[in-house]
Amino acid sequence: MTTFPDNRVVIFDTTLRDGEQSPGATMTHAEKLEIAAMLDDMGVDVIEAGFPIASDGDFAAVSEIAKNAQTATICGLARANFKDIDRCWEAVKHAKSPRIHTFIGTSPLHRAIPNLTRDEMADKIHETVTHARNLCDNVQWSPMDATRTEWDYLARTVEIAIRAGATTINIPDTVGYTAPNESAELIRRLIAEVPGAEDVIFATHCHNDLGMATANSLAAVEGGARQIECTINGLGERAGNTALEEVVMALKVRHDIMPFTTGVDSRKLMAISRRVASVSGFAVQFNKAIVGKNAFAHESGIHQDGMLKNAETFEIMRPEDVGLTETSLVMGKHSGRAALKSKLAELGYEVEANQLADVFVRFKTLADQKKEIFDDDLIALMQDEERSGEDRIKVERLRVVCGTDGPQEAELTLTIDGEAKSSTATGDGPVDAAFNAVKALVPHDVVLQLYQVSAVTEGTDAQATVSVRMEEDGRIVSGASADTDTVVASVRAYVNALNRLLVRREKAGTDTREISYKDVG
């Protein structure tokens, strides 16, 4: 197990586990491997790759990530039972540096779920942590809902876990309940009062339900924690988790008052932020700290004047510190493949010859529709390229009739498992008509929870990014797409979500490889 100086904070990323639990954020096997490789490359210390007992797919992903990891410790999550722990070890044991993370809910509310007395739960903690340590010399233990657990019982269980062999004690604020002063004091008191605390690393895991996840995590570090659990873009259940990019840059920018370091290369933050947004279907809000589109944008006259005279007037960090580069090439319809490849590399996309050929065709099509191609246009184009993958349903042709006279009508052709099918439908507006045309070809009974349109860049020829979220029988999936035609982007986003839904159905064993569709064309 790697040891660090006292001022070194271990960055534990759980994007692939806790982050993926966010409704609709499920990633494919290949996407998980790609994100894990990016996390490893940027210097994340510990990657929680998944919950191996959850499914064969999760087990396979954790196992392959463990085999491929170069420097990061690979961790799997396990509940407090031997079966979970054994399955976790089977998945992570291939890593150069494996870790088992086991947990149990210790608050009164969580103790009531398995109906265990305090003593019964204490015995269970001792047995399961001991079992995990017999398998692996790097064991993390978490008392779930620690911040709502009675102090005396929390201290007791932490001591039991330490005595049983846990090397990291994680203190989760599972429902985002605590505040910074409480977060710091809880860690400080555990370190001061629990026997054996000096021999382990204390970690903090904060949720953002009250918008204080980053503040609570940094306060915990002030209190003595030396591991922060976080996710890219703050992805996670409910309001999300502590955002990795926020804590890394806070420690870097305010090193004067928080003299701690991490091993993360901050110049790679923007690239992984964009990739996670693309594969999860969760767009980054424009005003998101560090990685949001407006994080380094200045519109106010006073701000712009100050920036022109001295960038430090209104910027506490440089855009290049997080991987943003100034535009050096203006892209347009006369740009060639070499220029496109260079620009994509600037934006964090390394493309092989075959992919470049496909992207170049789409770039030229876009360049014919727009006078100037902005960086955000290229990012949207690449995200669309990544989403298409091995989709079973693809949009081939769409024509809509709309206006004040009505009726609004859509003619649509989809390729479904390689076979072209067409339909015509009407609706309350062109988007509704187009969605009805999709439903006519691929019958489904989903609830559309979200339909959101935003402009990628300025101008009347701007691309529109459309995001949708749909739910079927408790399964929630997201989809997104961008196009200069909002209706086209809408249909592609809808179909993107449908493709994700088909994958979820197959994983659940409720769908065969054959898609049921109506022969309406």
Residue 89 is predicted with a pLDDT of 98
Instruction: Give dist(CA 307, CA 317) in Å, integer.
Output: 13
pLDDT at 508 > cutoff 90 = no
Which pLDDT band, with edges at 50, 70 and 90, does 297 fall under? low
Locate all alpha helices (DSSP H) within 310-458, ordered by sequence: 337-346, 353-369, 375-388, 430-441
The closest of 81, 73, 79 to 99, measured between CA atoms, is: 73
The mean per-residue pLDDT over the stretch 474-484 comes to 85
Instruction: Give dist(CA 200, CA 225) in Å, integer.
Output: 10
Instruction: Give dist(CA 365, CA 129) in Å, integer.
Output: 58
Which pLDDT band, with edges at 50, 70 and 90, does 315 fall under? low
Residue 351 is predicted with a pLDDT of 83
Which pLDDT band, with edges at 50, 70 and 90, does 463 fall under? confident
Reported for 397-403, long-range contacts at CB under 8 A and 24+ positions apart, including other chains, are 397/422, 398/434, 398/487, 398/488, 398/491, 400/430, 400/433, 400/434, 400/487, 401/430, 402/429, 402/430, 402/433
Buried b (16+ CB within 10 A) or exposed e, 389-403: eebbbbbeebebebe
Instruction: Give dist(CA 77, CA 412) in Å, integer.
Output: 45
Instruction: Give dist(CA 218, CA 242) in Å, integer.
Output: 10
Q: What percent of the chain has pLDDT over 70?
A: 91
Tokens 């960090």 map to which residue?
317
Tokens for 234, please give them: 């703050």
What's the chain's average pLDDT? Answer: 87
Tokens for 24, please give them: 């609709």
Contact assessment for residue 376 and residue 398, using Cβ atoms and an 8 Å cutoff: no
Strands 393-401 and 408-416: antiparallel
Tokens 């298409």 map to which residue?
388
CA 271 to each of CA 162, 289, 309, 400: distance values in angstroms, whole numbers, following the listed order? 38, 15, 29, 36
pLDDT at 43 > cutoff 90 = yes
Tokens for 188, please give them: 């400080």
The mean per-residue pLDDT over the stretch 166-183 comes to 98
Which pLDDT band, with edges at 50, 70 and 90, does 186 fall under? very high
Element (H, E) at 152: helix 151-164
Buried b (16+ CB within 10 A) or exposed e, 375-387: bbbbbbbbbbbbb
Which pLDDT band, with edges at 50, 70 and 90, does 279 fall under? confident
Residue 59 is predicted with a pLDDT of 96
Cα dihedral 248, 252, 258, 263 sign: positive
The mean per-residue pLDDT over the stretch 447-470 comes to 84
Which regions of 428-498 does DSSP assign to beta strands (E)? 447-455, 464-472, 475-483
- Greater model confidence, 251 or 444: 251
pLDDT at 216 > cutoff 50 = yes
Distance of CA 27 to the CA centre of its chain: 9
Tokens 């042709």 map to which residue?
397
3-class DSSP assignment, residue 398: strand
The closest of 267, 251, 168, 192 to 217, measured between CA atoms, is: 251
Tokens for 213, please give them: 């996840």
3-state secondary structure 25-41: CCCCHHHHHHHHHHHHH
The mean per-residue pLDDT over the stretch 298-319 comes to 53
Query: Of all residues in the chain, what percent are helix, strand and coil, respectively (each to 5)?
Result: 45, 20, 35
Which pLDDT band, with edges at 50, 70 and 90, does 330 fall under? low
Residue 346 is predicted with a pLDDT of 76
Range of weakest confidence among 338-347, 456-465, 507-516: 507-516
Contact assessment for residue 186 and residue 223, using Cβ atoms and an 8 Å cutoff: yes
Instruction: Give dist(CA 97, CA 68) in Å, integer.
Output: 11
Residue 454 is predicted with a pLDDT of 81
Which regions of 5-97 does DSSP assign to beta strands (E)? 10-13, 46-50, 73-79
The mean per-residue pLDDT over the stretch 338-357 comes to 82
pTM confidence score: 0.79
Binding site feature residues for Mn(2+): 18, 205, 207, 241
The mean per-residue pLDDT over the stretch 172-193 comes to 98
The mean per-residue pLDDT over the stretch 384-400 comes to 79
DSSP codes, 305-333:
HHHHH-GGGT-SS-GGGGT-------B-T
The closest of 111, 50, 103, 44 to 75, measured between CA atoms, is: 50
The closest of 97, 299, 98 to 88, measured between CA atoms, is: 98
Residue 377 is predicted with a pLDDT of 80
Tokens 């790697």 map to which residue?
2
Instruction: Give dist(CA 38, CA 277) in Å, integer.
Output: 14
Instruction: Give dist(CA 238, CA 236) in Å, integer.
Output: 7
Upper half-sphere CA count for residue 319 (Cβ side, 13 Å): 16
Residue 304 is predicted with a pLDDT of 37
The mean per-residue pLDDT over the stretch 36-40 comes to 97
The mean per-residue pLDDT over the stretch 411-438 comes to 92
Tokens for 412, please give them: 């649509």
Tokens for 504, please give them: 């979820």
**Contacts (Cβ under 8 Å, ≥6 apart) of 125:** 80, 104, 141, 157, 160, 161, 164
Q: What is the pLDDT of residues 91-112, one digit of tens each?
A: 999 999 999 999 999 999 999 9
Residue 516 is predicted with a pLDDT of 40
pLDDT at 498 > cutoff 70 = yes
pLDDT at 327 > cutoff 50 = no
Q: How many residues does the chain have?
A: 521
pLDDT at 307 > cutoff 50 = no
Binding site feature residues: 18, 205, 207, 241
3-state secondary structure 169-204: EEEEECCCCCCHHHHHHHHHHHHHHCCCHHHCEEEE
The mean per-residue pLDDT over the stretch 139-145 comes to 98
